[in-house]
A = this chain, B = another copy of it.
């Protein structure tokens, strides 16, 4: 074991979130988060009891000033040179670290016999002692306050001299600092950025502008930026030899792979992976150009994609913790009612997928705080009530009017969240809670079916308006009814016909909601239809030059129409995490891999009718399952035990033993 930096749980997430919060700009205007941000605790006391076999010199480092209380309460020893000499024998050490300058008061103690790690306790001096957070990925000189993502030089693939300036094309969507080589130390370089060429050349309306002030000694932009194209304009005598990018990225320890005899399917998977990797950073972002924020609706889905891309538990947990904020909740997560519910569901999804009981235990109080926040907002029917200030999002769609007293969609999420909360409560040994939540979920399910299910139409209504069901049928709430299990098998089959395959019901245009739609369709045996849709929808973006998947896509649009959103010419994000849905659909429903974290097992149920050959690696619990398909023969080598199902029979999957099944 080696020494690690330690800190008060959750503070690293708050720090990273605060750093991120200052980086979003719309041209020269900063766009700060529109929900509460939190300060760091300035005062943390760390403690540990230990025994030394011989006299030992401890080396102590902290971000902040600190005091050492040794062996007994009130027995403070000076520490002017960062060391403390202790005799052999039993000891206790408390280190009180103090930092009021916006940094985490974190600690690093090292010696041959004892060091900081996750066995230490800490307190805010509030009477509670809890286990610290510890980070193995920092070394002594890189504290959690100095954490940075990795950097790699990337050069443009082409440069074009134009009337507007020099137009650089980096060949693909990317994210990093824009840097200059051999600047002449005069004037400024004005940078006009674009995810599209049109945007980078449209100085008046491009979303991101930046500069490198050569005269001031700047060699790269202050912040990272998303772009594919940059137009550079030299001002006041500025000149340089080269413009390049310091590409910033999360170094993943593990990465899925997918090659396929069908080029388009393979390309879709790869661009989905790129899209997701660009958005997997300190946290799961929504999009790298816009909003470069952590939105819970997006992050919830990223949890699913992550399992089929990197199995990166660090970023996953960090995102969940960051979204939960600090202290007693005062407002819905991201101000959106549905997003608070997705947070609860995402907490469960993390647990279910990884089986990480420690995490559930550690954050159970916060989980309960959010559940209480939700339950404090329910009516006598158990329905979630939204206030006029709350944003009910559901989906970007003009048909989803916001004029109901209750939305079936939200109640369905609540019902699922309660059922999942019951499981979480069981895991952490809170049986009374577990029973209460399960019973509430059951009653709510019955109530939703009674109030919203329209037997004659085979669909759920959208909401309650003027005191009664509005009877409006949209895909969104019906997809969610199947996804959350509100609809039973019979209801789900009817929804498939009367809603999902009914062209009279308005189409879903966001990859966000298509995630749920595709998932539900695959679950209902419509994988062939879904894969066809994916080829059309995601393939459609590729056909018009996308190198990452977008926030929204409508094949009817033409040219730069595609780039507009929110009444802005280039308002749309062209690299949006929720565009990574193909990772999930291919991993979960084509390759058929499902990980059960609670039992640490994998179930593989390949899609028999997949017409192409495949060589793939799919993560499971931080390792890779190798899958090869040639014609109808599937060869699987898994690092964990489990089962392969062909729909009729189950074949035992033994860790490390190759299995071949003809389907």
Measured CB to CB, the residues of A under 8 A from B are 18-19, 21-22, 26-43, 65-68, 76-78, 80, 96, 98-103, 124-128, 327-328, 330-331, 335, 389
Contacts and interface: CB of A to CB of B under 8 A. Distances in A.
A126 B330 contact: yes
9 tightest Cβ-Cβ pairs between the two chains A and B: A39-B39, A37-B43, A102-B102, A101-B102, A126-B330, A18-B100, A39-B40, A29-B76, A28-B78
A52 to B, nearest CB: 22
11 contacts: A21-B100, A29-B76, A32-B43, A32-B98, A33-B43, A33-B125, A37-B42, A38-B39, A42-B102, A125-B331, A127-B331
Contacts of A68: 29
Nearest to A128: B330
Contacts of A100: 18-19, 21-22, 102
Given A21-B42, A31-B76, A327-B328, 6 more contacts: A19-B100, A21-B100, A30-B66, A35-B126, A38-B39, A39-B41
Contacts of A126: 35-36, 330-331
Copies in the complex: 2
A19 B65 CA distance: 13
A126 B33 CA distance: 11
Contacts of A43: 21, 32-33, 36-37
A327 to B, nearest CB: 5
A587 B43 CA distance: 40
B22 A98 contact: yes
A22 B331 contact: no
A330 B98 contact: no
A18 B99 CA distance: 9
Most buried by B among A26, A39, A40, A80: A39
Contact of A42 (B18, B31, B389): B18
A449 to B, nearest CB: 33
Nearest to A64: B22
A224 B459 CA distance: 73
Contact of A41 (B37, B80, B98, B124): B37
Contact of A22 (B65, B76, B125): B65
Nearest to A80: B28
Contacts of A335: 127
Given A98-B22, A330-B128, A67 B31 contact: yes
A23 to B, nearest CB: 10
A39 B42 contact: yes
Among A21, A38, A127, max chain B CB count under 10 A is at: A127
Nearest to A97: B32
Nearest to A68: B29
A629 to B, nearest CB: 50
A221 to B, nearest CB: 16
A41 B335 CA distance: 18
A46 to B, nearest CB: 12
Contact of A36 (B19, B27, B30, B124): B124
Contacts of A125: 33-37, 331
A65 to B, nearest CB: 5
B328 A67 contact: no
A497 B96 CA distance: 49
A335 B123 CA distance: 14
Contacts of A102: 42, 99-103
A77 B39 CA distance: 27
A26 B76 contact: yes
A389 B40 CA distance: 25
Given A29-B76, A38-B42, A389 B127 contact: yes
Contacts of A21: 42-43, 98, 100
Contacts of A26: 76
Contacts of A41: 36-39
A198 B191 CA distance: 68
A102 to B, nearest CB: 4
A158 B236 CA distance: 63
Nearest to A96: B32
A33 B105 CA distance: 14
Contacts of A65: 22, 30
Contacts of A124: 36-37, 330
A27 B80 CA distance: 12
A11 to B, nearest CB: 9
A75 to B, nearest CB: 11
Nearest to A566: B74
Contacts of A128: 330
B30 A98 contact: yes
A67 B29 contact: yes
Contacts of A35: 125-126
A356 B331 CA distance: 31
A319 B546 CA distance: 60
Contacts of A328: 327-328
Nearest to A76: B29
Contacts of A96: 32
Contact of A330 (B40, B127, B330): B127
A28 B96 CA distance: 15
A268 to B, nearest CB: 35
A68 B28 CA distance: 11
